[in-house]
Amino acid sequence: MRATPNPIRCVISLAGLFLVGCTGQLKEAFRYAQQEQVFSSQLEVNTQVDLLWVVDNSASMDVSQDNLRKGFAAFAQKYMKPNWDIQVAVITTDTYLADPAYHSGLDLLGTPYTGYLDRMAVAGTYSSAWVQGHAAQWANPGWAPGLLDLGATSPTYGKFAGGVHYHDLVPAWFAYGASDPTITFARLLPGLHDGPIAALCTEDFPTRHFFAGRPKCSTRDFGPNTGPSHCLSPDTGAGETAISQCVNTVQNDTVRSGKAILRTMPPSGTPGNQAWIDQLVADFRVNITTGSAGHGSERGLESVLTLLKQNESTSTPFFRPGSTRGIIFVSDEDDQTLLEPVTAAELGTYKPNTDYRCDLAGTQALNGGNASPTCCSSGCAYQPFTLDGSGAPVECSLKFIDGTTRVASICPRQDKLRPVSSIKAEMDAFFSTLDGPQGDPTSYFVSVITPLTLASIQAMQASRDTEDAAAAVQKIQAVDRGDRYLELADLVAAPTGKPAVKMDIGSSDYGPVLEAVGRAIVEKKSSFTLSREPTGSEDMIVAVLHADGTRTLVSPAQYTINGRTLTVTDLDLVLAFASTDRVLINYQPKTAG
């Protein structure tokens, strides 16, 4: 009776039947070649790489996203080649709002409650002088056809007669899930994560950038250009900028790639030529443009966990078993992931600014002595934090950056922040389950692009202050170093013995930033575990066997050996690997004499 082949293959030396290599076959991997001589071992490499970008989409991120758009072109041309199996997706730092805690439904005790997103942001009839002056040009967004009263003879013409719900601001937070519970903001679907998030041009009430008629909103809502072409190639002679053109309608739904998950390997019948790469670059430059209408409570860490819970078990999973994964956080503020509510009372009143405090003295100093309605003891959005005997805030984190003490104007309570270690543990558990018992515990890395210096923080804060002043809203100290993102990156990198990639978001040129991320990706694919450590009486001969039978010899200057680990140090050579290539390692006895 014929035995069923075992998917786990071992390579055996015919001379002496000496066991020298054993591995399991991986999908889309370099494969073992037939052993051609004694002491030969061929190593298997998996070319799958899954890159998840978590991009801050709050009001201050326009300039940083523009830098990403510019820098990514050169990055993608070099690293996102069709001979590698790379997937790329982008989510936002407010993806966590897909959590049922923010929606209408039942709490954990079975009691019905009204979720935050279904509540009124502004109750009753609301008017904006700027909106009323442009009502003749206005078109209500598809998700809220009755948002603005457009009846020319109506006494409330040009007003938000029914008020504004929170889900009117950004429909992806709520409206999609209302019609189909399997489609939430955490799903990697076109219309959700393939370009600027559809939204009114404002961060959140009571922020008034949109209703004050800021120039960028005016251009976006009533400009003549729709579609991605002017976003990626603005007509500078006509005064266009990518910042103004990448979100250009009140619905923000015309700049789209149409693909929430981008793949470097072309489908069957499509050549992986330069035209394919150029389209891939353009698509990602659109996807990385998440817009700046997202929620001001940025929770990138929780957003990743929400993706893992609500997307990965559906028809649009992103992370693949056995792949190398990179999670890159891009934010000009720190992560604010809070412990989730559990009781009926908590759920009934829970919203994104629950468990926040504010810096009363600092906000007053920024605004001529008046901190209301942002920060005051009663009737304001936030209550002041208390001070200890030394004058330091009790509830909020005090940071020391380049010799200067800083605290955000609005800050989450330290005792309510979810520990970063527990977030890493949940991510570890997910990937371990995905990969199974043979999985690599270091199969993912975390990179961070955030303000790292006081100079970067001050420059970005000055830009935000200018916008707030023009919109006649209160100034707040918002730009901050992303310490919690940096902590996660260090925790993930610790077992590898290599430092995490951390770059400054304040850079005017993101080329070096993205180059560092690209190098981190390649380095994860450049080390191989040998079947045994070579002895002092052997030379190593390393070669790449191509599908057409030709070989490329790898010189000793292009690799190192440490114990049983062989690392190809020529990263350009690694980039040239194809999924049909095979890596051959020969233990060659040294010649006597």
Residue 173 has what DSSP assignment? G
Going from N- to C-terminal start, the domains of the chain cover 8-47+534-589, 49-123+163-342+414-523, 356-412
Whole-number pLDDT of residue 446: 95
Distance separating the N- and C-terminal Cα atoms of the chain? 52
For the record, the structure tokens of 416 come out as: 């309510």
Whole-number pLDDT of residue 336: 96
Handedness of CA 138, 139, 144, 148 (dihedral sign): positive
Residue 338 has what DSSP assignment? B
At 125 the three-state DSSP class reads: coil
Q: Locate tokens 């989450």: which residue?
A: 412
User: Pick from 46, 42, 64: which is nearest to 55 by CA?
Assistant: 64
For the record, the structure tokens of 113 come out as: 């409650």
Q: Where are the beta strands (DSSP E) in 288-419?
A: 324-330, 356-358, 383-384, 399-401, 404-406, 410-412
CB 200 within 8 A of CB 156: no
Helix or strand run (H / E) with residue 274: helix 274-287
Question: What are residue 448's phi and psi, to 5 degrees?
Answer: -135, 130
Whole-number pLDDT of residue 413: 95
Question: pLDDT tens track of the chain, all 593 residues?
Answer: 434 333 333 332 222 323 333 333 333 333 333 333 333 455 656 678 899 999 998 877 777 777 778 777 777 778 787 888 889 999 999 999 988 888 766 555 666 667 788 888 877 788 877 778 878 877 787 778 888 899 989 999 988 888 888 888 888 887 666 667 778 899 999 989 999 888 776 544 444 555 655 545 554 555 677 788 888 888 889 888 887 788 766 667 788 999 999 999 998 889 988 899 889 989 988 998 888 778 889 999 999 999 999 999 999 999 999 888 999 999 999 999 999 877 767 777 788 888 999 999 999 998 888 888 889 888 888 999 999 988 889 999 899 999 999 999 999 999 999 999 999 999 999 999 999 887 777 789 999 999 999 999 998 888 878 777 766 778 888 899 999 999 999 999 999 888 999 999 888 777 787 788 888 888 777 877 787 888 777 778 888 888 888 988 999 999 988 888 888 888 888 888 777 777 888 887 776 65
For the record, the structure tokens of 337 come out as: 């992931």
For the record, the structure tokens of 535 come out as: 């002895």
Whole-number pLDDT of residue 565: 83
Distance CA 589, CA 593 (A): 12
CB 558 within 8 A of CB 570: yes
**CATH topology for 49-123+163-342+414-523?**
Rossmann fold (3.40.50)
Q: Where are the beta strands (DSSP E) in 129-272?
A: 159-160, 164-165, 261-263
Distance CA 238, CA 246 (A): 15
Q: 262 exposed, middle or buried (CB, 10 Å; 0-12, 13-18, 19+)?
A: buried
User: Pick from 476, 416, 491: which is nearest to 446 by CA?
Assistant: 491
Long-range contacts of the stretch 111-118 (C-beta < 8 A, 24+) = 111/344, 111/348, 113/344, 113/347, 113/348, 114/348, 115/174, 116/166, 116/350, 116/351, 116/352, 117/165, 117/166, 117/167, 117/173, 117/174, 118/165, 118/166, 118/167, 118/174
Entry pTM: 0.85
Whole-number pLDDT of residue 416: 95
Distance CA 371, CA 187 (A): 39
CB 581 within 8 A of CB 84: no
Distance CA 77, CA 217 (A): 32
